[in-house]
Amino acid sequence: MARVSFREQVLQVREDAILASVNRLLADKGFDLMTVDEVVADVGIAKASLYKHFTSKEELAAAAMVRVLERALAELARLREQPGPPTGPQARPVDQLMAVARWTMQVQLAGQMPSLPAQNSSLRAALIAHKVYMDRLMQLSDELGEWIEAAQAAGQLRPDLPPEVVLYTLFARACDPVLGLLKAGGQYSDEEIIEILLLSCFGGLATPEPAPEAKRKVG
């Protein structure tokens, strides 16, 4: 393995600090309100130093989004390899999907999940044109799609919902504003908030139908 020079180590540490700052600002303010000046002030570097790493605000945000997708892919790999239920190789697909949703909400509550770009945002166009971002996004979508289809085939998720609707619903949980509203209310702990939203996402809002046996007894 080639030895990394001290200068390269310094540049990597600085880039990591820049992306960590961008990630926090994207989570807190969103792309449109975030400024490059805020990033350099937060990291404590000159704007010229930042531009040695990233040439534009869009490139900054895209790099931060790629980091988030890579963290998500690493979490999926961890869940697959974790021995035994409820999230290991023998776990039900729906339990694995719930574990992913729980992780995304934990990351959001920690202030580390960037907001999704608006339809008319210049970031959206930049992301679509960003090959690495699109490659990671497609990989994540494919891996989650396998669990979604397996859960539907096993009767653990509604089979009448298109798989892409389930996928987009899971993506939406990563940026669900309800988490922030409940946290600001101060009535629930972070774990209680996550469990409430997992129940509403996977259990639905309607009262569960009684089992057929129960219906017959009532009749």
pLDDT tens figures, 118-149: 666 788 888 999 999 999 999 999 999 999 99
User: Would you mind telling me the total number of residues written for the chain in this entry?
Assistant: 219
Q: Identify which of 29, 185, 55, 59 has the alpha carbon closest to the alpha carbon of residue 132.
A: 59
The model carries a pTM of 0.85
Determine the topology of domain 57-207 in CATH: Tetracycline Repressor; domain 2 (1.10.357)
Residue 2 has pLDDT above 70, yes or no: no
Query: Which pLDDT value is given to residue 213?
Result: 62
User: Which among 111, 130, 114 has a CA at the least distance from the CA of 54?
Assistant: 130
Percentage of residues of the chain with pLDDT beyond 70 = 93
Contact 170, 96 (CB under 8 A): no
Please give the average per-residue pLDDT across 34-46, as a whole number. Answer: 93
Average pLDDT over residues 52-61: 91
Phi-psi region of 111 (alpha: psi -120 to 50; beta: other; left: phi over 0): left
| Cis amide leading into 86 (omega within 30) | yes
Domain ranges in the chain are 57-207
The tokens for 20 are 């960590």
Tens-digit pLDDT profile for residues 160-187: 999 999 999 999 888 888 999 999 999 9
